[in-house]
Every structure is written in C-alpha cells, then in structure tokens.
Structure 1
Amino acid sequence: MARFDRYNQPLSTSSDSAAERYRTGVDLLLSLWPGTAEMLDDAIAADVDFALAYAARARFHAIRTEITQARDKITTAMEIVGRNGTERERSHVAVLSLAINGQSAKALDGALQHADQWPHDILILSLLLGAFGLFAFSGRSDHNQARVDLCERHARHFETDDWWFLTYRGWSHGENGNLRLGRSLTERALELRRHNANAAHAVTHVLYEVGAGDEAERVINGWLPEYDRSGVLHNHIAWHAALIALERGDTDCALAIYNQNVAPPIATGVPINVVSDTSSFLWRIQAYGHPVPEGLWDDAAKYASAYFKQAGFPFADFHMALLAAATRDTAALGQRVDALVHLIRVGKLPAGPVVPAICRAALAFADEDYALCTEILEPVAHEVVRIGGSGAQRDVVEETLLVSLMRSGQAAKARALLDERLRRRPSPRDSSWMGQVADA
C-alpha cells in the first residue's frame, strides 16, 4: 500500500508510522517549531531505509549549522534513494545535497527545475524562499522580485488556505514592497497555524515595514511566550521587539530585551541569527548615540569567533565586520576585506564589490571618520540588497550612511535620505532626526 505526503505525493516507505512522522516532521520543520528533530528521528527509526526522512533531517541539521551531521544524513539519503527512490525523490535529495554541500548556484537552478516539475514538493520550494533562502543569498539584486515571481507562478497549485504557502507568499510580497498584500497573507497564515514561527516572523516584518511598531510589539508579546526558547527563531523575534523599543527611544527597554533574549550566552538560535542580531543591535545602539554597556561587544565577538572564519558569505561578512570594527580588531577586518577582494577578482563573489565596501565603511564609522564612511557607502547603497537577509536586517547599512551624513555636516543629503525613508515608512526615530537636520 502506497504512503503519501501532505500533498499526496508518493513516499518510498513501507511504514505507516514513518510516513506519518515524516509528514508531521516536515510541517514542524517548515514552521520552525520545536520537536522537528525528534519527529524526523522517529521517522528514521520506523524505517531505516526511508530516504526522504534522512534528507529532511539533513535539512534541519543544516538550518542549525550542524554541517557535519547534515552531510552525513544527506549522504545516507543519496545512497538509499539511488536504490529505491522515485524520480521525484531522487531529484529532491540531489537538490538538498547540492545546497548542504555548498553548491548554492547549482542548488538554486536545481530547485527551480524541481519546483516546475513538482511544485507541491514544498521542502525543495522552501529552499528558494525567505530571508536566508537560495534567492536571498544568490548575490542577485532582484532577489525580492524573484521570490514574488516564483510564488505567483506556483500559486495555482496551492489551496487558498495553505498555511505554508501563505506564509512565504506573504513574506515575499511584503519584502518586495506590496505591504498590504503581504500583511493580509501572513496574518492569515498565522491564524491558520498559530504554532508557526515563520508566520509570526513574517507578520512582524511586514508590520515593521509599514511602520506599525506598536502593533508589531503586541503581536510579539502575545505570541512569543507560546514559543519555547529552544525554537530556532525565538531569539530573533525578540530582537525585533528590541528594535521596536529602540526606535521609539526606549533604550533601557531595548537593552533589557537584548540581555534577556538575544545576547550570548542566553541566545539559543542559529549562529547566523545570533551573529547578525547581536552585532547589528549593538551597532545601532552606538550609532544612535547611546553607550553600549561594558562587555556586550566582547561577548558578541567571542561568540562570533567560532563561526564564519572564512570570507565569502556576504551577509555574515558584513556582520563580522561590524564586530571587528567595534572591537578594534582591524587586522581581522583587513584580512576579511582582502579575501573578499580576491574572491571578486577570481569571480567567486556574486554579490560583488558592495561587500568589501560596506566592511570598509564599518571601520571608517568606528574610527569616527564619517566623511570617509559616506564616501564609501553612497556609491554602493543601492547594491546592499545583494548581501541577502531581510530589509529590516539590511537597514542598518542605510542608517550608518544616514548618521554619517548628519555627523559629517551634510545636512541636505541627510534630509533627502530621511525624506525618502519617511515616505517608505513612518518612524519616530527618523522623524526626530529630520527635526535635527531641518535646523542644521
């Protein structure tokens, strides 16, 4: 008797228990809800020849930056699927293998081809989407639009109330500027499956983009207590709450949220989020003119020292540069910039020159050479999207440019940038800054 996944795609397993646990495990994985690992491990235990269960477990290991375990699991999946997998399953495992083994460009192409043939294979479709998906980290400047195009191309294959598709379709539209549609889709996704961290995160983002900080704070405060601290996005969603407090000028509240939820060693999230959240939050505190409490920069840098040692992951490179600049580790920052320049020279950094430029700008800002920071950032500001992540995460670069303009006496340029930002989204902080430069 055949077994099927949630979308009635056949599964090569002889065990009803394995199939049931796989279906549940994939839903937990795609909602980033605690219990994912245990459920997929149970699926493997129920059928040790179930290739897709190993592949899903490998994917979750990769999300957790457990690379050795991820590669071990995907290798096992490749061996098994070659013996008894369907064409879809062989393609599924092959695409995941490319992604897990660092062949992201090939994985992107493979995932697109796979999605065209099997659009309901959402574990593969999910690789392309989100702030940390293959499109976001492709180095392309149009990755926001590319995600929207992908979702719209496949929308006909999904039911109106498919919680997973609503989550990512809404996220994609919100990041691409269609905030009304993005909000309605992500809020509906969260209504349909409340235990869905990706939907809660997406709602928080779209509320940020419309300038609805109070609403975003209410969503976070009402939802986050239901999400165990071990959840992949727990610390990161708390980081959003800290940014909201910081934007309204409540630095004490922002620091309290940071210390209780985000800072190492409290943080239990994945390294890319911990490194980016800690560095960008502390950078904002400092850039906004507030003192960073003693020890916080050092704690963040100590945590980060175990990760992203090699240059070439632009989103991480920039945040590692913030840490190095703030802690005066100019040697490490210089080595990273040199390595990035070399990668550009040999054609191995798709995101291009914007990456070493924003790293150099971080050092200029930390040196209080605001004119130099402005000189570096202005020509590349429109290319920052290439480093990936979300708009809210990349916003720290534009804010660094803005503060540099204000501090280097370039009031007219600062006013123009603030006017553009305020047209995009209301912000009490930007409104306050506009008042300052208006008098300059």
Structure 2
Amino acid sequence: MTLRDAYGNPLSTGSTTAVDHYDQAVRLFLAGQFGAVSEFENAVAADPGFSLGHAGLARARMMSGDMPGVRAAIATALELAPHADTREQQHIEAMNLLLGGQPRAARQVVLAHVRDYPRDAMAAQLCTNIFGLIGFSGEVGREAELLAYTSALLPHYGEDWWMMSMHALSLCETGQVDASLRLMEKSLALNPDNANGSHFKAHALYEAGDMAAGRTYLADWMRGYDDRAVLHGHLSWHQALWALHDGDEAEMWALVDRSIGPGAAKGLPINVLTDTAAILYRAELAGVAVDPMRWTAISDYAARFFPETGQSFADMHAALAHAMAGQGDRVVHIAETATGFAGDMVRPVARAWAAIARQDWAGALADLVQVLATNERLGGSRAQRDLLELAYVNVLVRLGLTEEARRNLKARRPVLSSAPPVSDLVGTVA
C-alpha cells in the first residue's frame, strides 16, 4: 500500500512512523512553530532512506540558521532522490536550488512544479509569503504576482488553514484588508497555533489602522509562543511598533531588549538586523531618544552576519545601522558593491541613509526619490517599507516642505496620516 502525506501526496517510504513524524513536522513548519527540526529528524530516523524527509529537514534547519546541518541533509536527499518518484525528485530539486543560492532557478522550478502538484505544500510554500521566492524577486509587481500565485493554489486546498493564511496575506498586501481579515479569521479558527496566521492578522490590523486591537491580540497570542520559534522576534517587533505608535516607550524598549535585538532574539540574523534597525529608526522619527550604543551594537551585528552585500532587504537595513552608528566606511562599501535582487536600489538607499546621518536633507531627498515609486522591489511588507515612506516624509519636513510631506503621506500611506509617527508632523496633519 502506498503511504501518503496529510495533503494526499504519495511518499516513497514504507514506514508509517516516518510518515506520522513527517506530517507533524510539516504542520509545525507551516505554522511557524518550534519543533519541526526534531520531527523531521524523527522521520528520517524511522526511515533513513526517506528522501523527502531529508529535504524537509534541510529546509527546517535553514529556518533555524543551522547551515552545516542544511548542507548535510540536502546532500542526503540528493543521494536518495533517484529512488523517489517524479514529484519528490522535483521537490528536492527546488529545495536544492534554493539552499544552493539559486533563487531565480528555484522559483521557476516551483512555479512549474505546482501546476502538476499543487498540493505539495512544502514545495509550494517556497513561493508564498513576503519573504519567499516571489517576495524577494526584486521585481516590480511582485505583490500582484504573489496574489495570482495564491489565488491559483487556493481552490486546490479547500478548508486548509495554511493556504488560507497565505492567501490572506496576499490580499492584505494588495490593499484588500477586509477580505484578508475575514479569511485570516477562518484560518485561525482551524488552527489557532498558526504563527503565520497571527503574523498576517497583525499585518492586516496594521493596514486597517486598528492599533488597540492589534496590541491586545498579539499580547494575548504571544503568551504561548515558544521564544525559539522563527517568528517570535518579528512578532515582538510588531508589538514594539504598536507600543511606539501608542506612546508606550517603556514597553517598546522592553520588547527590544527581551525579544528583538542582538543577544535577545533567537531567530534568523536577517530578522534580528532588519527588525532592530527599523524599530530604532522609527523611534527616532517619532521623537524618541535612542542610545548611540544601540546603533553601534546593531551595526556590529550587521558587519558580522552580512559582511558582503547580496541580500537586498538585509543590505538596506545594514546600511541604515552603519550610517546611524557613524560607520561611514561600512555604508560606502554597501553603496558601492550592492548586489542581489534589488542591488541597484540598495545603492541610492544607502547613500540616503548616509546623507540623513549627516543631516544633508537635500542629498537624502535626491537619493530617496529614485526608489520610492517602486520600493516593493526591495522586499518586505508594506509595514516594513514604511521605514522608507516615513524617512522620505521626514526629509521633506526637514527641508521645510511640510505641506508636501502631508500630501505625500495621505496619498501613499493614508493609514498613517491621521496620527503620523513622525514627531515634526504631529499636530500638523489634518
């Protein structure tokens, strides 16, 4: 009898124990919960010849930052792949391309693969989410492409909590906030432990401007979330951002020091860097004093984990950290060498941060206007890219262009315009 996974896909293993652990691992992984690595390890321990189990283990280890473990697991999966069926071989190929640093090739393999195997969730998820292969494509229109991708997959999944949450995010990032919230509620009713669902609900509440509901919801949901899980630090960033907007500086700093910053967060370096740099600068924009040592710490962290350019979303934030820390040489290195999916945009952004740090507002404006219209290419969510939107507004104000700043905020980010989190605009926006 052919054994199948929870999504109905046949598996090249004869061990029911391996399948049980594999299904649990997939569920934990798709929910952003801690424990997927150990469950994939249990699956391949039950059947060492289970190639897809090793591929899943490689992916889970990637999300826990264990790169030596990633290489070992994907090597085993590739060695066993000839004994697997076509679906599993293609699945392993996509994983290998991603883990081998070939995201564009991996994306093309996944897009072709899901046409034949739409319910291969661990392969399909590579192109979902704002941090996936579409989200980090560096292309104009990637939000619309992500919506098209999840729209095509959704009918194949029925009442599935994971796919509902992925599609809800796509709706949110294309401005369909009410529809996103409705679908997210359905997803979370089916699996309240879905951290991706809680994350995307936070995004929808942010886009709806419902700060009170967002703070209450995440404060309650986070009580049971393992701080070793992949989204713990980033969800804490959402909490800190709402605390900042609500004037609760004590809570914001408590979250930074407990769950977000270097030495506190247990997540991936890209999240530690981007979340910390973003909350520090948005605090400064809101008029909150930031200890220069905090900038020094995140600059040194960026130099350690991202010494060379290539991951544009990280590079943009690294340049900000270096500029605010007074590390001019590090900023210049990024501005002159930026590569990656949006390296051409990272360069003017890096120059803009440097100009802002030395209060050259005209210089900052000249560089920021080059990227604002297509800033989705840099990656991240709308909430994350508000870092650039608000930096631009602040530069306009510093140049005495307050009316232009007001119009820009209302036109581009109206959700922030009634209570702009920029100190010099407070009380000036109708």
Please state which band the TM-score falls in when normalised by the shorter chain.
over 0.9
| Conserved? CA contact 2:154–2:164, under 8 Å | no
| Conserved? CA contact 2:136–2:341, under 8 Å | no
Structure 1 gap ranges (5+): 344-348
Residue deviations 1:10-44, cap 9 Å, x none? 10011110011001101101111111111111001
Quick one: distance in 2 between partners of 1:406 and 1:210? 25
2:314 to 308, 313, 316: 316
Quick one: distance in 2 between partners of 1:171 and 1:41? 30
| Conserved? CA contact 1:136–1:387, under 8 Å | no
Residue of structure 2 equivalent to 1:264? 262
Alignment of 1:231-246 (within 5 A): 231-246=229-244
| Conserved? CA contact 1:6–1:23, under 8 Å | yes
CA gap of 1:287–1:424, structure 2 versus 1, over 3 A, is closer
CA gap of 1:222–1:438, structure 2 versus 1, over 3 A, is closer
What is the CA-CA distance between 1:306 and the residue it aligns to?
2.3
Are 1:64 and 2:55 counterparts?
no
Residue of structure 1 equivalent to 2:359? 368
**Matching residue's letter, 1:58:** A
TM-score with structure 2 setting the length:
0.96
CA gap of 1:85–1:123, structure 2 versus 1, over 3 A, is same
Are 1:221 and 2:219 counterparts?
yes
CA gap of 1:356–1:187, structure 2 versus 1, over 3 A, is same
Residue deviations 1:377-432, cap 9 Å, x none? 12320121101111111110111111111111112311211222453456523597
| Conserved? CA contact 1:321–1:359, under 8 Å | yes
**Matching residue's letter, 1:162:** D
Quick one: distance in 1 between partners of 2:346 and 2:362? 19
Question: Sequence identity, in percent?
Answer: 32
**Matching residue's letter, 2:37:** A
Residue of structure 1 equivalent to 2:80? 80
Residue of structure 1 equivalent to 2:27? 27
Aligned Cα root-mean-square deviation (Å): 1.7
Residue deviations 1:71-111, cap 9 Å, x none? 221111011011x1000000000001000101000000000
Are 1:382 and 2:373 counterparts?
yes
Are 1:404 and 2:416 counterparts?
no
What is the CA-CA distance between 1:256 and the residue it aligns to?
2.0
Quick one: distance in 1 between partners of 2:66 and 2:145? 29
**Matching residue's letter, 2:226:** D
| Conserved? CA contact 2:285–2:421, under 8 Å | no
Quick one: distance in 1 between partners of 2:263 and 2:285? 24
Quick one: distance in 2 between partners of 1:378 and 1:178? 27
1:275 to 273, 276, 283: 273
SS for the counterpart of 2:304 is: coil
| Conserved? CA contact 1:355–1:387, under 8 Å | yes
Greater shift after overlay, 266-275 or 60-69? 60-69
Residue of structure 1 equivalent to 2:147? 148
| Conserved? CA contact 2:406–2:417, under 8 Å | no
SS for the counterpart of 1:108 is: helix
Structure 2 gap ranges (5+): none
SS for the counterpart of 1:13 is: coil
SS for the counterpart of 1:269 is: coil
What is the CA-CA distance between 1:370 and the residue it aligns to?
1.5
Residue of structure 1 equivalent to 2:112? 113
**Matching residue's letter, 1:128:** C
**Matching residue's letter, 2:366:** E
Residue of structure 1 equivalent to 2:344? 353
Quick one: distance in 2 between partners of 1:42 and 1:208? 39
Greater shift after overlay, 11-20 or 255-264? 255-264
SS for the counterpart of 2:420 is: helix
CA gap of 1:306–1:430, structure 2 versus 1, over 3 A, is closer
| Conserved? CA contact 1:174–1:182, under 8 Å | yes
What is the CA-CA distance between 1:438 and the residue it aligns to?
5.7
What is the CA-CA distance between 1:250 and the residue it aligns to?
2.4
CA gap of 1:101–1:170, structure 2 versus 1, over 3 A, is same
